[in-house]
Amino acid sequence: MVKYIIKRLLLLIPVLLGVATIVFLIMRVFLTDPSQTILGKSASDEQRLEWRQKQGLEEPLHKQYFIFLQDFVKGNLGKSYATNASVVTEIFSRFPATIELAISGIVLALIFGVSLGIISAIKRNSIFDSLGMTIALVGVSVPIFWLGVLFIIVFSNSFIPSVGRIDVLLKPTNITGFYLLDSLLCGKLDSFFDALKHLILPSCALAMYSMAVIARMTRSSMLETLSQDYVRTARAKGLPEKKVIFFHALRNALIPIVTVVGLQFGSLLAGAVLTESIFSWPGIGKYTVECIQNSDIPVVQGMVLILATIFVFVNLAVDIIYAFLDPRIKFSKRGC
């Protein structure tokens, strides 16, 4: 197992270098002069040249590429054009907000997705099944940003807030950056509930798509395991139906679901780009959109690199969990 993990970790190196190369190609080679957007049209040619020299854009390309890779390996992703602060600090200071949102999203998606999938599978071809699968179909079809907008319209006059992360007055002391955790650590229950209230709409909007994907996957996976011989044996043994479903069928049906959940967590982080800006959630997504609008290229490219790195590691974790859950993977050489 350790050998497998080490091998997989080593394989990540070329992938990550490849990601860096693609980002470099897009952002440095194909991009026309960014100084125009940053300095404005009124800037003189000399000012522009000076700015370009300062940013290291006047060096020959191969040298730029080398420096870029060197910095990437060291974890230095450059400085924001707008604030001149380090991209890594800028991004990581906003990261807890996004992680908090993404985790709530995946938890919601998992709870509702798996339940919906199980109900649809057990009550196959019933009204519950068609209802569940219609919800899932709508879930994969409605754009996340429009769903957010609908939530804001519907809940605009209710007690559920649709803007921001917490009431300014209730902000807990910054310990971990996760407001839910911080407010509990400080013992401020009112902050905790306020933060929770602010989480409702954005996390529901974010969860919708993943929930739908998980529901569909759970349904088909459950249907497959329910038709297996061992399920029939369990039933023949006279086990109660609940036990058959939850202990025999679901346990095996969960294996492909784990993969989907892992992949969904990656896409949730990317989906945050769209969700956050709608709910003014102060995470990396909202920040990315602002940087896209201001052509702050180092930040956007840094974001791509960081998210791709996370995505790759999440996938690795999923594969490892998968191997743990499914003993057949390790013993597949015996042939069955």
Partner 1 sequence: MSETKTLNEKIVVNSRYNKIWQSFKSSKTALISLFIVLAFFAVSIFGSFFLPYDPNLTEQNISNPQRPSETHWFGTDEQGRDIFSRVVDGTKVSILVGVMSVAFSLFFGTILGAISGYYGGKVDIIIMRIMDIMFAIPSILLSVCLMMVLGTGIDKAIVAIGLVAIPQYARIVRGNVLAEKENDYVKAAKIIGSSDIVIIFKNILPNILSSIIVKSTLGISTAILDVAALGFLGLGVKPPQSEWGTMLSESRKFVTQAPHTMIFPGAAISITVLVFNLLGDKLRDALDPKFFN
Report DSSP letters for 243-310, one per residue. Answer: HIIIIIIHHHHHHHHHHHHHHHHHHHHHHHHHHHHHTT--SHHHHHHHHHHTT-HHHHHHHHHHHHHH
CA distance 139 to 212: 5
For position 301 contacting partner 1 by CB under 8 A, the verdict is yes
Task: Write the DSSP symbol of residue 86.
Answer: B
SS3 state of residue 175: coil
* Residue 226 token pair: 């329910």
- Side chain identity, residue 241: E
Closer of 96 and 285 to partner 1 (Cβ): 285
**Whole-number minimum distance, CB 289 to partner 1, in Å?**
6
**Whole-number minimum distance, CB 72 to partner 1, in Å?**
14
For position 223 contacting partner 1 by CB under 8 A, the verdict is no
Closer of 172 and 302 to partner 1 (Cβ): 302
For position 102 contacting partner 1 by CB under 8 A, the verdict is no
- Contacts (CB under 8 A) with partner 1, residues 136-165: 137-138, 140-143, 145-146, 149-150, 152-153, 156
Q: Which of 178, 279, 281, 311 binds partner 1 (CB under 8 A)?
A: 311
Residue range at the interface with partner 1 (CB under 8 A); choices 99-107, 193-201, 229-237, 304-312: 304-312
Contact 305/311 with Cβ under 8 angstroms?
no
Contact 279/150 with Cβ under 8 angstroms?
no
Q: Which residues bind partner 1 (CB under 8 A)?
A: 14-16, 18-19, 22-23, 26-27, 30-32, 137-138, 140-143, 145-146, 149-150, 152-153, 156, 266-267, 269-271, 273-274, 278, 288-289, 292-293, 295, 297, 300-301, 303-304, 307-308, 311-312
